[in-house]
Amino acid sequence: MATRIGVYPGTFDPITLGHADIIRRGAKLVDKLIIGVTTNMSKNPMFTPDERMAMVRREVAALGLDNVEVVGFNALLMKFAEKQGASVIVRGLRAVADFEYEYQMAGMNQQINSGIETVFLMADVSLQPIASKLVKEIALFGGPIHRFVSPAVRDDVLARIAVKGTLGDY
């Protein structure tokens, strides 16, 4: 029987507890889960691709998952998935707004390669509001992010902000 490979793509800037939850749960659905770390310049990245890959690798190691690999890519998702031999794209959903975007993307991806299915995992209720963009914004304004990321990621974000500086006047 063929190995079932899944791809979970994202920018992971930074990786959050919500991402870790989807990784942990997605890894149960496939024989091998490839975390595809990509760059989306419109998201104003705080970390370089190499830094994000290192963060994701460290967080995956902390989860103790032996069927997960972290790979960087800068290509069309479906081309990346094909190259990895994937039959599944794993996506996390937090809210209705996520669904609308992801539904459209899944439809476009199906048009490109109908042999690769998209599987949506609902975020754990306690993790639904977490978004990397909001984590960065809270941290940049000096707010607490310990509820949204692991201690190691929190330290990474705070170290980066120590160099860049905080925003606001509080």
To the query of whether residue 79 is one of the catalytic residues in this protein, the response is: no
* Active-site residue (options: 19, 52, 91, 136): 19
* Active-site residue (options: 52, 91, 132, 150): 132
Does the bond joining 129 to the residue before it have cis omega, within 30 degrees of 0? no
What is d(CA 44, CA 39) in angstroms, rounded to the nearest whole number?
10
* Active-site residue (options: 4, 25, 32, 94): 94
To the query of whether residue 43 is one of the catalytic residues in this protein, the response is: yes
To the query of whether residue 146 is one of the catalytic residues in this protein, the response is: no
Q: How far is CA 49 from the centre of its chain?
A: 12
To the query of whether residue 164 is one of the catalytic residues in this protein, the response is: no
* Active-site residue (options: 43, 79, 147, 164): 43
Tokens representing 131 are 């978004």
- Return the active site residues: 19, 43, 94, 132
